Amino acid sequence: MKALDPINQAKADKLRLSIEEHRGRLLDRGQIVTGLVARQQLLVDSLARGPASLAAAIYGQSVDKTTTILQKFIDQVRAQQCEVPEMLRLTSGQSSRLGALLAEIEGEGEEKITNAK
């Protein structure tokens, strides 16, 4: 097969990436960064509000009650961090592909272990 000149190669690469993105195999970097920044901002906001609300809630409470209040706050922050932002959720096709890739990687790991014995 004849090699493409650099300009045509760049055009072909750009077209291939566009097709891959359109098929849902690639995620837009800007969307990922935006989602991660939004997630971090939620954490920062939660922690910024925490001290004032926690101070009022635990004032004059017993150690057990204070521990319960603090644990509830920590659980809420943890649950909030476990939520996947809408823009980072995978389509069903992407989810299937990710599952297949993870299964393939897991299978390769098992094969290496088997071959090592």
In a domain, 69, yes or no: yes
In a domain, 8, yes or no: no
The pLDDT of residue 110 is 55
Q: Give the burial string for 77-109 (b: 16+ CB within 10 Å, else e).
A: eeeeeeeeeeeeeeeeeeeeeeeeeeeeeeeee
The pLDDT of residue 117 is 47
In a domain, 18, yes or no: no
Per-residue pLDDT tens for 11-40? 888 888 887 776 666 667 787 788 788 888
Predicted confidence (pLDDT) at residue 113 exceeds the cutoff of 60: no
Q: Which residues contact 98 (CB under 8 A, 6 or more apart)?
A: 90
Q: Give the burial string for 44-57 (b: 16+ CB within 10 Å, else e).
A: eeeeeeeeeeeeee
Q: Is residue 15 within 8 Å of 4, Cβ to Cβ?
A: no
Domain count across the chain:
1
The pLDDT of residue 70 is 92
Per-residue pLDDT tens for 50-63? 888 889 999 999 99
Q: pLDDT tier at 2 (50, 70, 90 boundaries)?
A: low
In a domain, 95, yes or no: no
Range of the domain at 80: 25-89
Closest alpha carbon to 73 in 91, 101, 51: 51
* Rounded percentage of the chain residues whose pLDDT exceeds 70: 80
In a domain, 50, yes or no: yes
